[in-house]
């Protein structure tokens, strides 16, 4: 996911102009008839080549979310969106993974809103947001043999976030913070600046994550949205 925004913008402008000029991206020499791939996918390596006809016209980096428009043998035509513009090109199918949690078991632990959130890492620090309450949502991911090895979650942009809390008629909140585990460090970090997360999944190995949201004081009905999975958050007084 490194350098994603800068590289994607540069590539997007190049591919968008090419697509407009040619009408549609042409695939490398392949045979038609391959079954349609997942509607959405994510790039799983950095510097994945993008083809237009027989030429490489750019690269996509790890974590970039794309829409799969067509598949042919070992290739798929993908569409990436930048702002109001989109562009298309062909990439190796092996360089993508389904951008979905439908094949992952997901459970949400019971919780209850609280006026003050005590930092789970630094107990001397309390978090307070006037007029709002905190809701800590613990999520258990249970991968299967069909699950993707990596799941990329991002919420830097509220309208396009694929992790958020839904409440009331139109309420929507992205994480105020989350507990980030640092590789090689036993002590976790309560992360507020980073607006994305990569989950590493292995069949039979459960992963538990904690996300903290700020919600209106009177809100009581909550749904957690994780990409294409929506779960009701059970409430219970502690």
CATH number at 92 reads: 2.30.30.40
Q: Is residue 45 part of a domain?
A: yes
Q: Is residue 132 part of a domain?
A: yes
How far is residue 135's CA from residue 112's CA, in Å, rounded to a whole number?
6
Looking at the structure, do residues 25 and 136 belong to the same domain, yes or no?
no
Looking at the structure, do residues 115 and 228 belong to the same domain, yes or no?
yes
Looking at the structure, do residues 49 and 19 belong to the same domain, yes or no?
yes
**Count of domains for the chain:** 2
pLDDT of residue 185: 61
CATH number at 217 reads: 2.60.40
Last residue of a domain, one of 41, 71, 98: 98
Looking at the structure, do residues 110 and 138 belong to the same domain, yes or no?
yes
Looking at the structure, do residues 86 and 139 belong to the same domain, yes or no?
no
Looking at the structure, do residues 178 and 223 belong to the same domain, yes or no?
yes
Q: Which residues, other chains included, contact 15 with Cβ-Cβ below 8 Å and sequence gap of 6+?
A: 25, 50, 52, 57, 58, 80, 87, 88, 89
Looking at the structure, do residues 111 and 219 belong to the same domain, yes or no?
yes
Find out whether 89 and 124 touch, Cβ atoms under 8 Å. Answer: no
Q: Is residue 238 part of a domain?
A: no
Q: Is residue 203 part of a domain?
A: yes
pLDDT higher than 50, residue 14: no
Last residue of a domain, one of 67, 98, 129: 98
Q: What is the dihedral of CA 86, 92, 94, 96, to 10 degrees?
A: -10
Q: Is residue 71 part of a domain?
A: yes
Q: 162: which 2 tokens?
A: 């694929």
Last residue of a domain, one of 98, 130, 164: 98
Helix (H, G, I), strand (E, B) or coil at 160: helix
Looking at the structure, do residues 180 and 63 belong to the same domain, yes or no?
no
How far is residue 146's CA from residue 80's CA, in Å, rounded to a whole number?
25
Looking at per-residue confidence, does 177 or 15 come out higher?
A: 177
Return the closest-CA partner of residue 91 out of 9, 198, 15. 15
Task: List Cα–Cα distances, 82 to 6, 10, 13, 88, 107, in angstroms.
Answer: 11, 10, 9, 11, 32
Tens-place pLDDT, residues 177-197: 999 876 666 678 899 999 999
Looking at the structure, do residues 130 and 207 belong to the same domain, yes or no?
yes
Looking at the structure, do residues 130 and 169 belong to the same domain, yes or no?
yes
Please report, in angstroms and rounded to a whole number, the separation of the first and last CA atoms in the chain. Answer: 38
Looking at the structure, do residues 226 and 132 belong to the same domain, yes or no?
yes
Q: Which domain holds residue 48?
A: 4-98
What's the chain's average pLDDT? 84
Tens-place pLDDT, residues 17-71: 444 334 445 556 544 444 444 588 999 999 999 988 888 878 888 988 899 999 9
pLDDT of residue 163: 97
Looking at the structure, do residues 83 and 164 belong to the same domain, yes or no?
no
How far is residue 227's CA from residue 39's CA, in Å, rounded to a whole number?
13
How far is residue 195's CA from residue 51's CA, in Å, rounded to a whole number?
30
Q: Is residue 208 part of a domain?
A: yes
């Amino acid at each position: 996911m490194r350098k994603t925004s800068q590289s994607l913008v540069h590539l997007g402008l190049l591919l968008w102009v090419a697509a407009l000029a040619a009408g549609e991206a042409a695939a490398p020499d392949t045979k038609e008839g391959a079954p349609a791939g997942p509607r959405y996918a994510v790039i799983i390596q950095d510097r994945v080549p993008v083809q237009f006809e027989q030429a490489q016209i750019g690269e996509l980096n790890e974590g970039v979310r794309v829409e799969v428009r067509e598949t042919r043998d070992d290739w798929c035509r993908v569409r990436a969106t930048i702002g109001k513009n989109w562009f298309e090109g062909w990439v190796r199918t092996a360089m993508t993974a389904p951008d979905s949690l439908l094949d992952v078991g997901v459970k949400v632990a019971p919780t209850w809103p609280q006026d003050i959130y005590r930092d789970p890492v630094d107990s001397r620090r309390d978090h307070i947001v006037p007029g709002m309450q905190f809701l800590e949502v613990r999520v258990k991911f249970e991968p299967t043999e069909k699950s993707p090895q990596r799941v990329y979650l991002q919420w830097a942009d509220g309208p396009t976030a694929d992790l958020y809390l839904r409440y009331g008629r139109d309420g929507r909140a992205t994480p105020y913070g989350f507990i980030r585990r640092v590789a090689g460090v036993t002590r976790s970090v309560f992360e507020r600046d980073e607006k994305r997360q990569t989950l590493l999944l292995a069949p039979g190995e459960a992963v538990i994550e904690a996300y903290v949201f700020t919600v209106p004081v009177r809100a009581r009905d909550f749904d957690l949205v994780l990409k294409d999975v929506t779960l009701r958050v059970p409430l219970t007084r502690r």
